[in-house]
Structure 1
């Protein structure tokens, strides 16, 4: 059977149209002969997610985003996910939009809930989730820092304005003079340091001798300390404390009138008797000196002893 030219042309045109639609759909991420499963997720914001973006499970690519459409009534975005494998996914699984890196676009990571056996079928909806990428996380964390930096810069501007108000012409002149004097002082200190270095260099031998003497003195002090330790200084101090306690007790007894010294200090009668006895002893010695023959009488011819006459305080002149 011979096919006419018109039939061949019609078949070619129809085939071209079908091929065109298939190619157009393929470029849009759709495959007319595709039998894979499709799941849907509703997001408030897709965060830069594009069609044909990869869909992964634990880092393994298992599908792609086939379409993103906006819902007229709610304003939410409906994302269609096309999966090429038969891995069972529960309805409680989440589909998280995340950023795999700085260069690549956003992707969707499915976090399956293996404990849930209520598996989703093609056309079911999954739970939405958005994971902040590194850029968004940095932006979120840098926002308060930027606010604080703005406050710091504002305070710095105020500080500079206040400094400009303080540093008038007179203050600047005084500051310059102070800096000049400080430079002069530093120069003097440098010269003094040089002189000190020269003095140390010139008297290095004497300084060495002084240090040696100091070491010797330190050794002597250590020896003295050791000798004092051997001399039982602690025991001596303890005995001295006991002696002081006894002296204090003796003084207290004397103050209270106890003992001979206490009575002598506190008893007026005893003091008067001692004074009177001392006076009488003085008179007796004076009479012995003036009339020794009354007490020592050596007579070879038997003279009679003169009668005793009590001495008086004032002896008569001869």
Structure 2
């Protein structure tokens, strides 16, 4: 089959244009033969995101940013188109998050998958989120430090003001006197310390003897520990013996005897009985004394005149 020159030239031009189109898209990172899905995300600020920046899911590059433009609402929101080349299913509540992919500030889009259920279709709008910039993050971290530094500076200023009031004016003389008194106190303390040192040095030998005696006592106590244990055991035995003795009955007998003595004393005081009459009745005492005196006279008369009372007859 023979083709004309015009057909061959037309076919070559068409193939060249197709290759040019494919090559141009290939250089942009787009494969016209792959099955792609496009999703939308809307932001107030994209933070320097550019076309062709990668789109990742769980750290794996699955697409790129195809286009960026302002929305039609006139509120200056930015609409970005995300090309997803991976066939992974994306839940409708997934979030497209712009973040810094390196320390140089390069941006990328990470799709944080939502909960499984309803899945997004090509052309659907995903939730959007922007990671705080390094500057904003640093400012956020430094804000508590800044507040504490301001409070510290205010405290330092207050302290300096108080010191200025303290050391200024008439207080200077008082402070000088206080310093002088403190110096004198330290001198007195040094003198006292020296005196104590001298006293201790003079009594060193005596203190050594005291320590030796204490050591000797401790040694003796240690060596006689068995004896002390026996003494303690004896005291314990004596205590047990006294506890077991019929002490209560003995004290009861003593108490009864004391009660009887008290009763006898009361009877004597009331004049009952011979002893009571003798103690309380004077007439009985007088009669007894009279009888005793007459008896003495009788005995004296018998001694002087025995013949009067005793007669002896031999024949």
* Mapped partners of 1:200, 1:99: distance in 2: 82
1:159-174 maps to which residues of 2 (within 5 A)? Answer: 159-167=159-167, 168-174=171-177
CA, structure 1 residues 289+66, in 2 after alignment: closer, same or farther (shift >3 Å)?
A: farther
Q: Which has the higher helix share?
A: 2
Partner of residue 111, structure 1:
112
Aligned residue for 1:95, secondary structure, equals strand
Aligned residue for 2:270, secondary structure, equals helix
Partner of residue 235, structure 1:
240
* Mapped partners of 2:276, 2:91: distance in 1: 130
Instruction: Tell me the TM-score normalized by structure 1.
Output: 0.61
Quote how far apart the aligned CAs of 1:173 are. Answer: 0.8
Quote how far apart the aligned CAs of 1:154 are. Answer: 1.5
Cα RMSD for the two superposed structures: 5.4
Aligned residue for 1:231, secondary structure, equals helix
CA, structure 1 residues 246+133, in 2 after alignment: closer, same or farther (shift >3 Å)?
A: farther
- 1:291 is matched with which residue: 277, 282, 296? 296
Quote how far apart the aligned CAs of 1:246 are. Answer: 3.9
* Cα deviation code 1:276-296 (max 9, x no counterpart): 535849x6599479928659x
* Mapped partners of 1:191, 1:286: distance in 2: 95
1:179-198 maps to which residues of 2 (within 5 A)? Answer: 179-181=182-184, 183-184=186-187, 187-188=190-191, 191=194
* Mapped partners of 1:244, 1:160: distance in 2: 87
* Mapped partners of 1:236, 1:164: distance in 2: 82
Partner of residue 87, structure 2:
86
Partner of residue 212, structure 1:
215
* Mapped partners of 1:197, 1:53: distance in 2: 88
- Contact 2:268/2:275 (8 A) holds in 1: no
Partner of residue 54, structure 1:
54
> What is the total number of aligned residue pairs between the two structures?
285
- Contact 2:93/2:115 (8 A) holds in 1: no
CA, structure 1 residues 156+199, in 2 after alignment: closer, same or farther (shift >3 Å)?
A: farther
Quote how far apart the aligned CAs of 1:83 are. Answer: 2.6
* Cα deviation code 1:142-198 (max 9, x no counterpart): 434533442343233213312331233124313422442454356457646865885
Aligned residue for 1:261, secondary structure, equals helix
Instruction: Tell me the TM-score normalized by structure 2.
Output: 0.61
Quote how far apart the aligned CAs of 1:122 are. Answer: 3.0
Quote how far apart the aligned CAs of 1:63 are. Answer: 2.6
- Contact 2:52/2:64 (8 A) holds in 1: yes
Quote how far apart the aligned CAs of 1:209 are. Answer: 0.8
* Cα deviation code 1:218-275 (max 9, x no counterpart): 549965475134322643775899669948x949x97xxx533256269841599756
- Contact 2:267/2:276 (8 A) holds in 1: no
* Mapped partners of 2:294, 2:166: distance in 1: 105
1:1-318 maps to which residues of 2 (within 5 A)? Answer: 22=24, 31=30, 33=32, 36-46=36-46, 49-71=49-71, 73-99=74-100, 104-113=105-114, 115-116=116-117, 118-130=118-130, 136=136, 139-140=139-140, 142-167=142-167, 168-181=171-184, 183-184=186-187, 187-188=190-191, 191=194, 205-206=208-209, 208-216=211-219, 219=222, 224=228, 227-232=231-236, 234-235=239-240, 238=243, 246=251, 250=255, 258-261=259-262, 264=265, 268-269=269-270, 274=275, 276-278=277-279, 280=285, 287=292, 291=296, 294=299, 304=309
Deviates more, 1:148-157 or 1:137-146: 137-146
